[in-house]
A and B are shown apart, each in its own frame.
Chain A
Amino acid sequence: MLLEAEPAEPITTHTKTGKTLTHLLLKALLRTVAANFNLRPGLRRYLKAEAGWFDFTVGIRTESRSVETAIRFRNGRVRVLKALPDDCGVTLIFASDKAVRMLLSATPTEQIFMLMKSKMRTKGNQAYMMLFLFYLSLLIHKKQKKQIVQERDESQKALHKDSPTAKTELSDELRQRRAYRMRADSNDPGVKYLAEPFLSDYSLEDFPRIKDFIEIHFNTTAEVCPERPRLVTEWFKTHGFETNADGSPWIPELRQGYAFKYLMENREPIIRKNDLIAGTTTTKEIGVVVYPDSHGTMIWSELLTVPHRSLNPYGISRETVELLHKEVFPFWIHRNFREWVREKYDSPLCQAIDERFAVYFIWKQAALSHTIPDFPKILRLGATGVIDEIKQELAAGDKTEAQTATLEAMILCLEAMIAYGTNLAAQAESDAEAEADPKRRAELAHLAEICRQVPAHPARSLDEAVNAMWITWVGLHMENTNAGLSLGRLDQWLQPYFEADMAALETDGQRRDYIRHAIEMVACFFMRCTDHLPLTPDLANWYFGGSSSDQAITLGGVTPDGRDAVCDMTYIFLKVTEMLSIRDPNVNARFHPGINSDTYLKRLCEVNLITAATPSMHNDAAVMTSLEEFDYAPEDLRNWSATGCVEPTLSGRHIGHTNFQMMNMVAALEMALNNGRHPLMNWKLGPDTGVVENDGFKTFDQFLEAFFAQFRFLIEQSIEYNNMLGKAHQAIRPTPFLSSLIEDCIPSGTDVTHGGARYNSSGAACIGLADVTDSLMVIKKLVFDEKRIGFKALKKAVDENFENAPDLYALATKKVPLFGSDNDEAVEMASRITRFTHDTYGSHTNYRGGSYTAGFWSMSNHVIYGTLSCALPSGKLTGKPFTPGLTPEPHASTNLLDNIRDVARLDPHHMNNNIAFNVKVVPGGGDRRENIIDRMFSYVKTYFDLGGMQMQMNVVTSETLKDAMAHPENYRNLLVRISGYNAYFVTLNSDLQKELIERAEYGL
């Protein structure tokens, strides 16, 4: 691992004061830092923000206090303090002297791992740490850049050494997949106009405009966009945040409404060159949106290095750096979700656990946006129609002051959208005037006409509907963090406009042209969705590698009244998915056994084969079964959409924050093995549940109870933090615009952050089900049932990473039936865990009055949580990844059907936030496309017949992935499914790449 090259411990001598030489060394270094800032005007100017001098203190100490010092920034002077004062803005606490010295010589990536691996922890306001690191980076960023380049070159050199020549036959095979396209042999009842629904006659070559957009997508480096942070900060500085100009407290909804209106009215209205859709989320070709009210300040430390980092580099202009450092970030140091909780609840334990990285991550520190807005409403009524509805509510006169303010805030937001639409129309007109090409001039004139109609008024055509959706989407992203906000059932919602347009056409030629136009429109929409990226601090590149904002689209399934929903637009979206093969939007397909056709499922498989990774496929019936326990109206249940990754949200009326957290279940197992102590953090945080070394467990069930007790503790802590952060959202950033598009918020006059939606819940992603199940199976079978080994001996082997016990390692990995091996006992074990997880989460109510739900999928966290865990009884070694989602271990069985059957046997009732089951299949050479598709179809269909909920296939060999790792230039668009989301393989961190390579691979 990265940190093992650390220097031996040479300096242990303590000085007279009880401090070590490291202490003296650090103080000397800090004094140099101070002197530089005090004496060099070029640096000193960074000590001042627009509103005055930065004033804060950073404490630095070791756990044992062998090192203890602080550096104070005050009134434009920097001073190193003799002792650690009480008023430190933030304190960095190192595990040892060695860790302090390591940090000083570490590369940026190594520093990240030091933090994640508990070599260092923090106490206090994270923004101050980021600011302090920014100051350090001002001194050493040239060296940092060199280190980054060196790191990247060395790893690439090592890869090239192993694989000097590119295997172009492998990259060619991927490209050639799109050359052959199957034709449909039957049609679905809902398909009205497509004679051949697979649309096999079309390819990307037919759409030069889209080809250009794809080139831009792959060849443009994203750039940090200053527009949103600048405008919102400007407004709040003028009008106040906590209190208004009169000094009385703001009602947060109203404040946000005004700020939103200011933002939308003053944003630059942009029509991208050659686009058929108006509006952009940023002023850049591909922009990174900054949300300083959530996690924006996390990028502070990287402002100078972010263009140079290896993973997800962003461009950033000098002006933007100045703006963020001097004008934006200072305003938000205390005004963000995380710091609001820290101050309001006095640094609670539940937050301290989160900030150690290894146990859980609560997404609300960045976003609450995992939901599906009511697009049909804005299409049907337009913003003016929604305003009328709100005004009627207000006219009833029965609202409280808070409700009235909330409704007024919604009106402000809708007016803001109308203003933005008007600005876009004007822009389209002036672009048209300046346009020389008559064809493009006509398109721009058409766009101007569209933007005069939508989103202000109802959409009347597919062109207007798609534009209205996109413009609304831009607005939602100006209000909400771009993390998992999802699009919903676009095929269903656009089909009426498609049909109406079609019905008005008279000749076959017109209809053919229109179908081509509809494909192009949808492709433009997909490409619009790639115009923004989430702001990802480098640390998050290891946590959520390669993820974009995961804008899920859902296709197929059944209509609200239970009929087959597959329609023309379903196949048009699938065609676009196939042609573009891009990571985001994240396409999810619902398949309802007994209602949707085999033809449709085969098409899903074919698109999956051609794109190698998408769509994700869901068993509609099983997902609905999983939600049976809630009193959801049947027509709402049938209208569910996937959100972010895979999770179900009832479209337009449900705030399910379906990714409120990433939970490491394995941490609870490690704590059960260590009586509540987490080994990597070396922190006794959980309850006493028994000591293995003292024969604390007489039966297996006693140990299982210990695991459950630790897990319950972690669940309760994480829920407490989630509820606190929920309150923070209410105070810092309620979302009246989103609320106006979520059912019931208007009649109740309540923002979604306060539970205004018809349905409320919070959904967890629980990670490591296979690793926990298999570890428990090893303990049960070998220690208690067969008594082949003692618990203490097993524990010792685990503690020593199996280095001295090859026989125990062999027993654990080879002689115990595992989850995914077609074994009843292992399935029962997994079921006990899912039941406990579901019941425990389900016993809690969230701050919006909704239930907690449990899912078993992992984004990419199965890798980082694996890195941050020790060896396990299952034979997982220290630092190795868990399996993705609830996928069985690669060595559970050589038979894919065993995997499929065991996963399908888990009860959906206990997995009400869905699952991610990854299968890697590869076609053999020479097989006919139809035969390959038949096999894929058979796996998926049978899995669904057996009751399985969700399945996602990577159709790519490990050999190809290895080639892509060494020769990324040949694979820029190689799409892979991590756990629930798609990413470009070549943009992933190396740990994630290796995990994908090591997944079990089955022939097709």
Chain B
Amino acid sequence: MKQPLILEIKGNALDDGPGIRSVVFFKGCPLSCMWCHNPESKRIGAEIGFEAKTCVACDTCMDVCPEGALSRDNPFFIDRSLCTLCFKCADACPSGALSRIGTPMRVDEILARVIRDKPFYDTSGGGVTLSGGEPTMFMDFTGELLQRLKANGIHTLIETCGLFDIDRFYEIVYPWLDAIYYDIKLINSDDHARYCGVPNETILSNFKSLYARYQDGGVPIMPRTPLIPGITDTPENIQAIVHFLSTCGVHEARLLPYHPLWQEKNLKIGVALGGHAAEMDQWLDNQVLDRCRTVFATAGISI
């Protein structure tokens, strides 16, 4: 069974499904969206992170680094070509500016963490959400975790990009799910390949299949569209998404307005901001949001 690294388990989440929830963030994603809000979740392997604003410049880390990979002359502080990911610096760092990104956790460890909040799930109708990254990259692990959550009477929800083997999904993951949040980003496959790194045929066909099964009494599925300025929020794309959803018979969807907070996270993992950074540092305009809402509403899809 492929073992994922876990980025974070976030408690008291109020925006990732009904009620009060815990969100388990997996590390690793088959897509590579250029606006990814959790860029540290893209790669499967562990990474070392550095957050300049937290650093107190005590230089403790430099004394412990065996490779001499740390230097204040380096704008990213860490020379990742020298770094062997021994994490001695992160262990010694007093401020948490240097940190390990991605921790191996067993199913029972995750369960032990999230079950502490069960009393809150119970009074609020909440539960556990698996997110990432992409939990379906670790289908067996995800299935086992979901099964254990269900066995403990916990409501389960998965947030997915939709790129997975649908048959295995039905077999291993689907039986233990109470709800699915499913991203529909771009309808044009070439655009999808350009901005997200892969074409979208599988994603769209998986959605059709899952939605049809939902209509047959299966697991509820909620399509969600991130509104990225100039990329997904174009009138053409929004119209195409609404058309696609309508043909599937969808009556309810969610829009996720863009925010630029991810740029700082990129710096943390040593990724330089590309040429598009400057044009992408604005929050989504409210007028654009209203325009998109109107298109959905006109087609009878409530937001």
Closest to A941 in B: B123
Q: Is the CB of A935 within 8 A of B14?
A: yes
Q: Is the CB of B94 within 8 A of A897?
A: no
CB-defined contacts of B11 to chain A, threshold 8 Å: 895, 897-898
Q: Quick check: is A945 within 8 A (CB to CB) of the other chain? A: yes
Q: Quick check: is A896 within 8 A (CB to CB) of the other chain? A: yes
Q: Quick check: is B56 within 8 A (CB to CB) of the other chain? A: yes
Q: Is the CB of A938 within 8 A of B116?
A: no
- Looking at the assembled complex, report how far the CB atom of A923 sits from the nearest CB atom of chain B, in whole angstroms: 10
Say what secondary structure dominates the interface of chain A: helix
Closest to A788 in B: B94
Q: Is the CB of B124 within 8 A of A934?
A: yes
Q: Quick check: is A420 within 8 A (CB to CB) of the other chain? A: no
- Looking at the assembled complex, report how far the CB atom of A939 sits from the nearest CB atom of chain B, in whole angstroms: 8
Bound state CA distance, A811 and B57, in angstroms? Answer: 13
Q: Is the CB of B120 within 8 A of A942?
A: yes
Bound state CA distance, A941 and B120, in angstroms? Answer: 9
Q: Is the CB of B123 within 8 A of A815?
A: no
A-B contacts, CB under 8 A, total: 58
Contact (A815, B119) CB under 8 Å given A897-B11, A1002-B12: no
Contact with A along B12-30 (1 / 0, CB 8 A): 1010000110000000000
Closest to B96 in A: A814
Q: Is the CB of B12 within 8 A of A807?
A: no
Contact with B along A942-970 (1 / 0, CB 8 A): 10011000000000000000000000000
Closest to A896 in B: B12
Q: Is the CB of B119 within 8 A of A946?
A: yes
- Looking at the assembled complex, report how far the CB atom of B11 sits from the nearest CB atom of chain A, in whole angstroms: 4
Within 8 A of A (CB), among B86-130: 94-96, 116-117, 119-120, 122-124, 126
Q: Is the CB of B119 within 8 A of A811?
A: no
CB-defined contacts of A806 to chain B, threshold 8 Å: 56-58
Q: Is the CB of B120 within 8 A of A938?
A: yes
Q: Quick check: is B205 within 8 A (CB to CB) of the other chain? A: no
Contact (A807, B60) CB under 8 Å given A895-B12, A896-B12: yes
Bound state CA distance, A263 and B151, in angstroms? Answer: 72
Within 8 A of B (CB), among A451-504: none
Q: Is the CB of B56 within 8 A of A935?
A: no
Q: Is the CB of B12 within 8 A of A938?
A: no
5 contacts across the A-B interface (CB closer than 8 A): A895-B11, A897-B11, A937-B123, A938-B19, A941-B123
B: residues with CB less than 8 A from A are 10-12, 14, 19-20, 56-58, 60, 94-96, 116-117, 119-120, 122-124, 126
Category for how many chain A residues contact B = 20 to 34
Q: Is the CB of A811 within 8 A of B20?
A: no
Q: Quick check: is A822 within 8 A (CB to CB) of the other chain? A: yes
Bound state CA distance, A807 and B97, in angstroms? Answer: 11
Q: Is the CB of A897 within 8 A of B14?
A: no
Sorted nearest first, the 6 A-B pairs with minimum C-beta distance are A810-B95, A938-B124, A807-B58, A806-B56, A811-B94, A810-B94
Q: Is the CB of A1004 within 8 A of B123?
A: no
Q: Is the CB of B20 within 8 A of A815?
A: no
CB-defined contacts of B14 to chain A, threshold 8 Å: 935, 1003-1004
Chain B CB within 10 Å, residue with most, of A897, A945, A1002: A897
- Looking at the assembled complex, report how far the CB atom of B64 sits from the nearest CB atom of chain A, in whole angstroms: 13
Bound state CA distance, A935 and B18, in angstroms? Answer: 11
Q: Quick check: is A809 within 8 A (CB to CB) of the other chain? A: yes
- Looking at the assembled complex, report how far the CB atom of A797 sits from the nearest CB atom of chain B, in whole angstroms: 12
Q: Is the CB of A945 within 8 A of B123?
A: yes
Bound state CA distance, A924 and B117, in angstroms? Answer: 22
CB-defined contacts of B124 to chain A, threshold 8 Å: 934-935, 938, 942
Q: Quick check: is A808 within 8 A (CB to CB) of the other chain? A: yes
Say what secondary structure dominates the interface of chain B: loop
Select one of A810, A815, A897, A1004 contacting B120, CB under 8 A. A897
Bound state CA distance, A806 and B122, in angstroms? Answer: 43
Bound state CA distance, A809 and B126, in angstroms? Answer: 38
Q: Quick check: is A370 within 8 A (CB to CB) of the other chain? A: no
Within 8 A of B (CB), among A269-298: none
- Looking at the assembled complex, report how far the CB atom of A369 sits from the nearest CB atom of chain B, in whole angstroms: 38
Q: Quick check: is A901 within 8 A (CB to CB) of the other chain? A: yes
- Looking at the assembled complex, report how far the CB atom of A621 sits from the nearest CB atom of chain B, in whole angstroms: 15
Bound state CA distance, A402 and B245, in angstroms? Answer: 89
CB-defined contacts of A1002 to chain B, threshold 8 Å: 12
Bound state CA distance, A811 and B117, in angstroms? Answer: 28
Select one of B10, B95, B123 contacting A938, CB under 8 A. B123
Bound state CA distance, A822 and B11, in angstroms? Answer: 11
* Given A815-B96, A942-B120, A946-B119, 20 additional A-B pairs, CB 8 A: A806-B58, A807-B56, A807-B58, A807-B60, A807-B94, A810-B94, A810-B96, A814-B95, A814-B96, A895-B11, A897-B11, A897-B12, A897-B20, A897-B120, A901-B116, A934-B124, A935-B14, A938-B20, A942-B119, A1004-B14
- Looking at the assembled complex, report how far the CB atom of B111 sits from the nearest CB atom of chain A, in whole angstroms: 15
- Looking at the assembled complex, report how far the CB atom of B90 sits from the nearest CB atom of chain A, in whole angstroms: 11
CB-defined contacts of B10 to chain A, threshold 8 Å: 895
CB-defined contacts of B94 to chain A, threshold 8 Å: 807-808, 810-811, 814-815
- Looking at the assembled complex, report how far the CB atom of A68 sits from the nearest CB atom of chain B, in whole angstroms: 49
Bound state CA distance, A860 and B207, in angstroms? Answer: 57
CB-defined contacts of A809 to chain B, threshold 8 Å: 56
- Looking at the assembled complex, report how far the CB atom of B21 sits from the nearest CB atom of chain A, in whole angstroms: 11
Q: Is the CB of A810 within 8 A of B123?
A: no
Contact (A942, B123) CB under 8 Å given A808-B94, A815-B96: yes
CB-defined contacts of A937 to chain B, threshold 8 Å: 123
CB-defined contacts of B60 to chain A, threshold 8 Å: 807
CB-defined contacts of A901 to chain B, threshold 8 Å: 116
CB-defined contacts of B19 to chain A, threshold 8 Å: 938
- Looking at the assembled complex, report how far the CB atom of B53 sits from the nearest CB atom of chain A, in whole angstroms: 13
CB-defined contacts of B12 to chain A, threshold 8 Å: 895-897, 1002
- Looking at the assembled complex, report how far the CB atom of A769 sits from the nearest CB atom of chain B, in whole angstroms: 22
CB-defined contacts of B96 to chain A, threshold 8 Å: 810, 814-815
Within 8 A of B (CB), among A663-677: none
Within 8 A of B (CB), among A902-943: 934-935, 937-939, 941-942
Closest to A895 in B: B11
Chain B CB within 10 Å, residue with most, of A815, A896, A935: A935
CB-defined contacts of A942 to chain B, threshold 8 Å: 119-120, 122-124
Bound state CA distance, A1003 and B122, in angstroms? Answer: 20
Closest to B9 in A: A895
Bound state CA distance, A946 and B12, in angstroms? Answer: 16
CB-defined contacts of A941 to chain B, threshold 8 Å: 123
Bound state CA distance, A1003 and B13, in angstroms? Answer: 10
CB-defined contacts of B117 to chain A, threshold 8 Å: 897
Q: Is the CB of A935 within 8 A of B95?
A: no
Contact (A822, B95) CB under 8 Å given A806-B58, A895-B11, A1004-B14: no
Bound state CA distance, A814 and B119, in angstroms? Answer: 28
Contact with B along A785-817 (1 / 0, CB 8 A): 000000000000000000000111111001100
Select one of B56, B119, B122 contacting A810, CB under 8 A. B56
